[in-house]
Amino acid sequence: DAKTTQPPSMDCAEGRAANLPCNHSTISGNEYVYWYRQIHSQGPQYIIHGLKNNETNEMASLIITEDRKSSTLILPHATLRDTAVYYCIVRARGDSGYALNFGKGTSLLVTP
């Protein structure tokens, strides 16, 4: 799996958009970008994944740069319940049966 780099922490005001960056400059052509989050002591939760096109679901949007070397997870209207550690993981689609390698992630604090 390609290595990812994320800022260790970020703050966001409640109701504002939270933009979480991830650098994956060594990503291969067959590798997807996955985002998970872990709210304190709970099991990690899948958020979204994408290959090269931007993706959106009910939780978030994923913007992947054209060269695919970086991406941004966007929580459009952050709430206090979005306070969590967010993990950006790069993995080949064919490896979806294999374990996820979690790094340190970004600790997002949403403040009132």
Partner 1 sequence: DSGVTQTPKHLITATGQRVTLRCSPRSGDLSVYWYQQSLDQGLQFLIQYYNGEERAKGNILERFSAQQFPDLHSELNLSSLELGDSALYFCASSVGGQGSSTFFGPGTRLTVL
- 76 vs 94, beta carbon nearer partner 1: 94
Dist CA 20 CA 14 (whole Å): 15
Q: Kindly state whether residue 39 participates in binding partner 1, applying the rule CB under 8 A.
A: no
Q: Which of 8, 41, 58, 112 binds partner 1 (CB under 8 A)?
A: 41
Q: How far is the CB of 16 from partner 1 (least distance, A)?
A: 27
Amino acid at 99: A
DSSP state of 56: E
Among residue numbers 70 through 99, which ones bind partner 1 (CB under 8 A)? Answer: 93-94, 96-99
Q: Kindly state whether residue 101 participates in binding partner 1, applying the rule CB under 8 A.
A: yes
Dist CA 44 CA 67 (whole Å): 28
Q: Kindly state whether residue 42 participates in binding partner 1, applying the rule CB under 8 A.
A: yes
At a CB cut-off of 8 Å and minimum separation 6, what does 107 contact? Answer: 8, 9, 10, 84, 85, 86
Q: Kindly state whether residue 103 participates in binding partner 1, applying the rule CB under 8 A.
A: yes
